[in-house]
């Protein structure tokens, strides 16, 4: 696998900085961020010190020449500070962009490689929301976490400067800062409660939209548009209400921070004025203290905003952690599944069930399917027969026993690349957005020649020739419902044959075809027989007659049936 940044979010482990420190070249970036921040904070002292000198020395002594040099030096400090802030923003933004890229890639890879049984425990909308939470973390890491961590310690520098100039006056801005932090903590609790409600409501709304859009044909056929609209209106009204609350709670710290900034400014001026009157502090010193008090509060305000957003980022981390905790099909470091297999399949005392709360549909099943043998499996429950094929593919693991391919246990190998070894054709074919040729080659240009051969073998040439652009015909959106079902099924079949698989699994594929397509597929299966191991789930008499052996799934076992000759002389 390319990057395992997602591993930092497993269970409850991983600190905040662990979210990005695993990125390449993070530490050089961190060094430059620290250097820029320290330089910015030191340069920010230039303006208060310049004003103090202007009020205390320049104006009383009419030192115009000194004023020119002070203004020039302050201007240079301001330009350098602005340039350093831009550089720091660029570095932190680039780090956040890299974080977004690597974590998104790692999370999506983890999702695709997760165990199917674990994946199916949640709705697609929930996974979409969890992937979207990476964007929240990206915004969080795009400056706040770095600038707050680096700026906050320098607040003590400004407070020390106030103490150096005005002594006990420093206790007032310290008191303002503490009061602001206490109030920010209360606001954080309210924000976090409302934000959790917002995420729950968004999950419900996304799931409803996926369910509705996925079944829009049924909704229209049953004329349920009005009921669905009313239901969406109720969900949307709830969402708008909680969004309004979240927006209010999110802007409160900014408004409260502005209020405390004014308190700090007027308090320092008011209390410092008495020291000026008593001659204990100069006017320039008071001006500098007022500016330094504002400077000291700025990183604290940023920290409060960070603290508030911390709850949102915490929720986003929990979302990403739920993705990271999905069990993988193969353990990290597992070796690629061997390519030189013959196609031998063995169920070794396998027991399995569709869900934990359901009974077994196979118990202590022990069956061998020999290489290049054609086997038909029939059964009343289509979910159970489909699950048997999923076991052979390694998509799900038996909770008891072993399923072996050529004496190899799929659970001990990396089964992420079984393409060309085990191919599966479902009852209802699926086409991806792209051209028909893209669907035959699965977007691999190197397969075009063999894809055309497979398509010709299945008689697709005449059907595709009737389309305006032939194999370059675009398949988009719900085009699967527009193209003839026989064409879709034959494309799915041809796609499976492109790699000349050792094991071919067909799940009631022939039953879903029209008569012409089924006859063509039957002829193809006759030609494939003896070259690949073929396992078919079917009740078709023609396939039963063609098969070497026939099994019936009943009483939690695969019971071999006596074959009857359905052919007519």
Q: How many angstroms separate the Cα of 74 from the Cα of each of 55, 71, 82?
A: 15, 5, 12
Is residue 169 within 8 Å of residue 227, measured between CB atoms? no
Whether the predicted pLDDT of 10 surpasses 60: yes
- Quick one: average pLDDT of 37-57? 84
Is residue 345 within 8 Å of residue 533, measured between CB atoms? yes
What's the pLDDT score for residue 23? 61
| Percent of the chain whose pLDDT exceeds 90 | 15
What's the pLDDT score for residue 1? 40
What's the pLDDT score for residue 477? 52
Which tops the pLDDT comparison, 1 or 250?
250
Burial group, residue 298, by CB count within 10 angstroms (0-12, 13-18, 19+): middle
Whether the predicted pLDDT of 423 surpasses 60: yes
Q: Is 329 helix (H, G, I), strand (E, B) or coil?
A: coil
Given its phi and psi angles, is residue 432 left (phi above 0), alpha (psi -120 to 50 degrees) or beta? beta
What's the pLDDT score for residue 146? 64
What's the pLDDT score for residue 13? 54
Q: Is 408 helix (H, G, I), strand (E, B) or coil?
A: strand
| 189-223 exposure pattern, b = at least 16 Cβ within 10 A, e = fewer | eebbebbebbbebbbebbbbeeebeeeeeebeeee
Please report which residue ranges of 113-166 form alpha helices under DSSP H.
116-119, 124-141, 144-151, 155-166
Given its phi and psi angles, is residue 430 left (phi above 0), alpha (psi -120 to 50 degrees) or beta? beta
CA atoms within 13 A on the CB side of 336: 9
Rounded to the nearest 5 degrees, what angle is found at the Cα of 355, between the Cα atoms of 351 and 358? 80
The tens digit of pLDDT for each residue in 296-314 reads: 888 888 777 777 767 677 7
Least confident window among 62-76, 364-378, 543-557: 62-76
Rounded to the nearest 5 degrees, what angle is found at the Cα of 413, between the Cα atoms of 407 and 419? 90
What is the distance between the alpha carbons of residues 206 and 129, in angstroms, rounded to a whole number? 8
Q: What is the DSSP letter of 114?
A: B
Whether the predicted pLDDT of 480 surpasses 60: no
Least confident window among 56-70, 211-225, 251-265, 492-506: 211-225
Whether the predicted pLDDT of 202 surpasses 50: yes
Copy the structure tokens of residue 389.
């094929």
Across 240-254, 327-341, 360-374, 513-527, which has the greatest mean pLDDT?
360-374
| Percent of the chain whose pLDDT exceeds 70 | 91
Copy the structure tokens of residue 147.
């600038």
The tens digit of pLDDT for each residue in 504-554 reads: 999 988 887 878 888 888 999 999 999 999 999 998 888 989 999 999 998
- Quick one: average pLDDT of 479-508? 82
Whether the predicted pLDDT of 569 surpasses 70: no
Copy the structure tokens of residue 105.
């890639």
Which tops the pLDDT comparison, 418 or 32?
32
Q: To the nearest whole number, what is the mean pLDDT of the chain?
A: 83
What is the distance between the alpha carbons of residues 199 and 129, in angstroms, rounded to a whole number? 9
Bridge partners (DSSP) of residue 403 are 347
The tens digit of pLDDT for each residue in 393-419 reads: 888 888 899 999 998 887 788 776 676
What's the pLDDT score for residue 110? 85
Torsions phi, psi of 377, nearest 5?
-115, 130
What's the pLDDT score for residue 363? 93
Q: Is 555 helix (H, G, I), strand (E, B) or coil?
A: coil
Q: What is the DSSP letter of 25?
A: T
What is the distance between the alpha carbons of residues 19 and 5, in angstroms, rounded to a whole number? 8
pLDDT band of residue 69 (cuts 50, 70, 90) is confident
Bridge partners (DSSP) of residue 554 are 557
Whether the predicted pLDDT of 429 surpasses 60: yes
Whether the predicted pLDDT of 165 surpasses 50: yes
What's the pLDDT score for residue 2? 44
What is the distance between the alpha carbons of residues 369 and 371, in angstroms, rounded to a whole number? 7
- Quick one: average pLDDT of 208-234? 80
Burial group, residue 149, by CB count within 10 angstroms (0-12, 13-18, 19+): middle
The tens digit of pLDDT for each residue in 431-466 reads: 888 888 888 888 888 888 888 888 888 888 877 888
What is the distance between the alpha carbons of residues 187 and 210, in angstroms, rounded to a whole number? 34
Rounded to the nearest 5 degrees, what angle is found at the Cα of 507, between the Cα atoms of 503 and 510? 105
pLDDT band of residue 170 (cuts 50, 70, 90) is very high
- Judge if pTM exceeds 0.85: no
Q: Is 504 helix (H, G, I), strand (E, B) or coil?
A: strand
DSSP-derived pairing of the beta strands 408-409 and 422-425: unpaired
Domains located in the chain, CATH noted: 17-324 (1.20.1560.10), 345-561 (3.40.50.300)
Q: Which of 299, 306, 316, 298 is nearest to 107 (CA)?
A: 316
> What is the biggest distance separating any 2 CA atoms in the chain, rounded to whole angstroms?
124
What's the pLDDT score for residue 18? 60
What is the distance between the alpha carbons of residues 247 and 114, in angstroms, rounded to a whole number? 36
pLDDT band of residue 376 (cuts 50, 70, 90) is very high
Whether the predicted pLDDT of 481 surpasses 90: no
């Amino acid at each position: 696998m390319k990057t395992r940044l997602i591993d930092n979010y497993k269970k409850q482990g991983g600190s905040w900085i662990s979210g990005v420190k695993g990125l390449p070249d993070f530490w050089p970036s961190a060094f430059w961020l620290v250097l820029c921040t320290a330089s910015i904070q030191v340069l920010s002292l230039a303006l208060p010190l310049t004003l103090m000198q202007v009020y205390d020395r320049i104006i009383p002594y009419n030192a115009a020449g000194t004023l020119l040099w002070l203004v020039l030096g302050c201007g240079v400090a301001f330009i350098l500070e602005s340039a350093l802030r831009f550089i720091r923003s660029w570095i932190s933004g680039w780090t956040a962009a890299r974080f977004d890229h690597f974590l998104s890639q790692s999370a999506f890879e983890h999702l695709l490689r997760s165990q199917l049984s674990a994946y199916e425990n949640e709705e697609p909308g929930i996974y979409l929301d969890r992937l979207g939470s990476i964007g929240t973390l990206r915004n969080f890491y795009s400056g706040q976490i770095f600038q707050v961590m680096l700026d906050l310690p320098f607040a003590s520098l400004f407070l020390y400067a106030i103490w150096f100039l005005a002594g006990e006056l420093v206790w007032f801005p310290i008191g303002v800062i503490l009061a602001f932090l206490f109030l920010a903590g209360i606001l954080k609790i309210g924000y976090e409660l409302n934000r959790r409600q917002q995420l729950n409501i968004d999950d419900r709304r996304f799931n409803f939209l996926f369910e509705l859009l996925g079944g829009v044909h049924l909704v229209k056929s049953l004329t349920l548009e009005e009921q669905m609209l009313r239901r969406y209106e109720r969900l949307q009204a709830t969402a708008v209400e909680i969004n309004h609350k979240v927006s209010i709670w999110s802007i409160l710290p900014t408004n409260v921070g502005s209020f405390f900034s004014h308190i700090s400014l007027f308090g320092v001026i008011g209390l410092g004025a008495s020291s000026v009157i008593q001659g204990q502090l100069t006017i320039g010193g008071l001006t500098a203290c007022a500016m330094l008090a504002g400077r000291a509060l700025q990183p604290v305000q940023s920290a409060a905003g960070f603290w508030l957003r911390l709850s949102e980022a915490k929720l986003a981390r929990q979302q990403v952690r739920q993705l990271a905790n999905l069990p993988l099909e193969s353990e990290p470091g597992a070796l690629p599944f061997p390519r030189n297999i013959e196609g031998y399949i063995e169920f070794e005392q396998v027991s399995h069930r569709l869900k934990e709360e359901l009974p077994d549909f196979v118990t202590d099943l022990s069956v061998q399917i020999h290489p290049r043998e054609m086997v038909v499996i029939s059964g009343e429950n289509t979910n159970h027969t489909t699950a048997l094929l999923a076991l052979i593919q390694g998509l799900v693991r038996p909770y008891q026993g072993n399923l072996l391919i050529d004496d190899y246990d799929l659970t001990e190998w990396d089964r992420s690349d079984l393409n060309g070894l085990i191919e599966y054709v479902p009852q209802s074919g699926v086409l991806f957005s792209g051209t028909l040729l893209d669907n035959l080659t699965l977007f691999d240009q190197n397969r075009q020649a063999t894809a055309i051969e497979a398509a010709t073998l299945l008689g697709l040439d005449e059907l595709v020739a009737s389309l305006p652009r032939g194999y370059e015909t675009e398949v988009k959106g719900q085009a699967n419902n527009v193209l003839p079902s026989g064409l879709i099924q034959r494309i799915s079949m041809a796609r499976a044959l492109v790699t000349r698989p050792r094991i071919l699994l067909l799940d009631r594929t022939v039953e879903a075809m029209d008569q012409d397509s089924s006859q063509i597929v039957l002829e193809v299966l006759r030609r494939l027989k003896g070259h690949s191991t073929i396992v078919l789930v079917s009740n078709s008499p023609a396939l039963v007659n063609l098969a070497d052996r026939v099994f019936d799934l009943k009483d939690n076992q695969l019971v071999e049936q006596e074959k009857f000759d359905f052919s007519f002389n």
